[in-house]
Amino acid sequence: MDILKKIEQYRSQEEKLRWEGTFADYLKLVKEKPWVAQSAHSRIYNMIRDAGVEEENGHKVYRFFSHEMFGLEEALEKLVEEYFHPAAKRLDVRKRILLLMGPVSGGKSTLVTMLKRGLEAYSRTDRGAVYAIKGCPMHEDPLHLIPQHLREDFYREYGIKVEGNLSPLNTMRLEEEYGGRIEDVLVERIFLSEDKRVGIGTFSPSDPKSQDIADLTGSIDFSTIAEYGSESDPRAYRFDGELNKANRGLMEFQEMLKCDEKFLWHLLSLTQEGNFKAGRFALISADELIVAHTNETEYRSFISNKKNEALHSRIIVMPVPYNLKVSQEERIYEKMIRDSDVADVHIAPHTLKVAAMFTVLTRLKEPKRGDIDLLKKMRLYDGENVEGFNSSDLNELKKEYQDEGMSGIDPRYVINRISSTIIRKKVPAINALDVLRSLKEGLDQHPSITQELREKYLNFISVARKEYDEMAKKEVQKAFVYSYEESAKTLMDNYLDNVEAFCNKSKLRDPLTGEEINPDEKLMRSIEEQIGISENAKKAFREEILIRISALARKGKRFDYRSHARLREAIQKKLFADLKDVVKITTSAKTPDEQQLKKINEVVARLIDEHGYNSTSANELLRYVGSLLNR
């Protein structure tokens, strides 16, 4: 019954939001709330802004997109700041068609859908309220009723510019129904809805031979000709084309660049003058955002055709590339799986991350700098600390290629392979190896992958596999070390005490006997050798650690083993090296003894409780790491 109550509540809320009054009443409302008279572009911009804006790494992040669009913050910032913001300010940008260009499954359709659903919800809020002349099939702006010669006076009194002319149908209705009394014309609040064709339209071209321009601009109702006597009588016309119905909101022009030229001609005057031609009438005003999407190949073909030159200057192209951040790619997969029927299947930790690594590597371009490889570039892009590189290096890398992210493997392919793995394996859990195997098999079936690309992608699968091997070993290492964090801290404190004594040429005091002893060179080298610190480089490394400790202390921060990436790696490797034989024997024993079995059960329990595995995936991980250590 809860859902029925909610339906009833929704219906009563809709009733409360409804408003109807005369044009005179509407003017009082405009005086009180000037934003109700905003343009379509302004409404969309305010809708995005009102959802919240945050600053991250010098970039604006719009929360409106954050639940559906991942890793495209910079592209979305450019879209909002370079198109919607100036368009909202009535600058010339609003007279352009917005063309989203990017690779398949890159988020273009999702972006447009979000704008549509957002507008539907926003029109039900106070800030996004939309009012129209009652009974108008085009939901016309009531301010069009103000005669041209009075609009300057209206601007001085209300501070609102009125653009556009009263439509032919409402011009006739004003005279015949209201006797020319503008103040008596009925106005109502409308709610934008794609399903009800109110303020949101979608045009999708079909067969050029059967597609009619009436789909865009409406058509004559021949059954009424006898009644009204003329095709030029607006009452004999159906104002039901997508351009008519999308007035006051947004129209999505699907596959615009594949359209017949006659459909695109109507967009010329709509974008430049804010009106279009329909039937035997004067130009009809329309206030709407025209948004289209395409891929790069189609766009290049379109601009190379001289016939389309008139439209070139009326289009603003906004690139929507693939995401290039591994952590955000993971979120894309999580969302797609959550929305599917396989959401109940256990996906072992790191599975989606490893798949995301492969995918992002296929999208990145080789760095031009010789001191950085693709793997380091991937980590930098994802916000990880890479020793020897900083934010200026990251900005430099991003400037190397303007078209980075416009090619590579798309998320849909990866999800298809994950789905295939789940269905084929027929078990309640899948892991990274299962997915990598499926990705590899799928390359042969991918129609657009050449032999050269296939070899390149197979190499990326190998890179992702090596990364997973390290992750798997570390995961088991953590599970084997009881109270891992405590062990790491103890080892690090011991190391730092010795480093400090070494650098200060002093001695340590033995905690048991109290006698003075020399720094433990064997301990320090056993840790430093884990990350390839040579005998000649040890002094510089130890001094660097001390400098880092004092720098943090000055800022009131405490140094721990995570404060230095290479030291953290060395501590982890040292801990694991000390436990390696135990892990190897325990994980690879075909018939483990009672002590080994107890240890395995403890590790499995810890993997389940603390690391997110289930029984199946935890045991698979232990077997795999055992095989790695025995190689």
379-396 residue pLDDT tens: 999 988 887 788 888 888
Measured CA to CA in angstroms, residue 630 lies from 56, 298, 337, 589 at distances of 45, 53, 35, 11
Give the number of domains in the chain: 3
Would you state the pLDDT for residue 531? 87
Pick from 192-201, 260-269, 343-352, 473-482: least confident: 260-269
Q: Are residues 158 and 217 both part of a single domain?
A: yes
Q: Are residues 360 and 216 both part of a single domain?
A: no
Per-residue pLDDT for 608 more than 70?
A: yes
3-state secondary structure of 356: helix
In-domain check, residue 489: yes
Single residue among 289, 319, 349 that ends a domain in this structure: 319
Residue 152's pLDDT band (cuts 50, 70, 90)? very high
In-domain check, residue 182: yes
Q: Are residues 158 and 182 both part of a single domain?
A: yes
Per-residue pLDDT for 166 more than 60?
A: yes
Q: Are residues 498 and 396 both part of a single domain?
A: no
Q: Are residues 156 and 77 both part of a single domain?
A: yes
Would you state the pLDDT for residue 240? 87
- The three-point CA angle 306-312-316 to 5° equals 155
- Would you state the structure tokens that stand for residue 486, as one six-digit string? 């405590």
- Would you state the structure tokens that stand for residue 412, as one six-digit string? 């849909």
What's the CATH number where 50 sits?
A: 3.40.50.300
Residue 214's pLDDT band (cuts 50, 70, 90)? confident
Q: Mean pLDDT of all residues in the chain?
A: 87
3-state secondary structure of 434: helix
Higher-confidence residue: 65 or 395?
65
Q: Are residues 311 and 402 both part of a single domain?
A: no
In-domain check, residue 132: yes
In-domain check, residue 586: no
Query: Which of 411, 401, 396 minimizes the C-alpha distance to 325?
Result: 411
- Would you state the structure tokens that stand for residue 392, as one six-digit string? 């200026």
Residue 483's pLDDT band (cuts 50, 70, 90)? low
Q: Which domain holds residue 167?
A: 22-319
In-domain check, residue 594: no
Would you state the pLDDT for residue 1? 59
Residue 493's pLDDT band (cuts 50, 70, 90)? confident
Mean pLDDT of 136-154: 94
Which H, E and C letters describe 186-246, residue by residue?
EEEEECCECCCCECEEEECCCCCCCCCCHHHHCEECHHHHHHHCCCCCHHHEECCCHHHHC
Would you state the pLDDT for residue 569? 83
The CA distance from 242 to 197, in Å, is 8
Mean pLDDT of 65-94: 91
Q: Are residues 500 and 522 both part of a single domain?
A: yes
Which H helix or E strand runs over 7?
helix 2-17
Residue 118's pLDDT band (cuts 50, 70, 90)? very high
* pLDDT-above-70 percentage for the chain: 95
Mean pLDDT of 356-376: 91
Per-residue pLDDT for 79 more than 90?
A: yes
In terms of C-beta density within 10 A (0-12 exposed, 13-18 middle, 19 or more buried), how is residue 591 classed? exposed
Q: Are residues 501 and 443 both part of a single domain?
A: no
Mean pLDDT of 553-560: 85
In-domain check, residue 600: no
Would you state the pLDDT for residue 210? 61
Mean pLDDT of 323-336: 92
Q: Are residues 196 and 47 both part of a single domain?
A: yes
Mean pLDDT of 370-374: 87
Would you state the pLDDT for residue 228? 78
Per-residue pLDDT for 585 more than 80?
A: no
The CA distance from 135 to 142, in Å, is 12
Would you state the pLDDT for residue 440? 92
Q: Are residues 173 and 217 both part of a single domain?
A: yes
Single residue among 410, 436, 470 that ends a domain in this structure: 470
Q: Which residue has the tokens 């599975």?
A: 351
In-domain check, residue 607: no
Higher-confidence residue: 121 or 560?
121
Per-residue pLDDT for 207 more than 90?
A: no
Mean pLDDT of 57-82: 90
Top mean pLDDT of 264-268, 273-277, 473-477, 496-500 is at 496-500
- Would you state the structure tokens that stand for residue 93, as one six-digit string? 């940008």
The CA distance from 114 to 445, in Å, is 32
Per-residue pLDDT for 200 more than 60?
A: yes
pLDDT per position as a tens digit, 408-464: 999 989 988 888 888 876 777 899 999 999 999 888 877 778 888 899 999 999 999
Mean pLDDT of 224-241: 80
Would you state the pLDDT for residue 209? 63
Q: Are residues 303 and 342 both part of a single domain?
A: no
The CA distance from 388 to 404, in Å, is 24
Would you state the pLDDT for residue 299? 85
- The three-point CA angle 221-20-9 to 5° equals 100
Mean pLDDT of 496-517: 85
Would you state the pLDDT for residue 56? 82
The CA distance from 89 to 214, in Å, is 32
In terms of C-beta density within 10 A (0-12 exposed, 13-18 middle, 19 or more buried), how is residue 143 classed? buried
- Would you state the structure tokens that stand for residue 304, as one six-digit string? 């190379």
The CA distance from 320 to 328, in Å, is 15
Per-residue pLDDT for 259 more than 80?
A: no
Per-residue pLDDT for 160 more than 60?
A: yes
Single residue among 319, 345, 374 that ends a domain in this structure: 319
Q: Are residues 416 and 313 both part of a single domain?
A: no
In-domain check, residue 386: yes
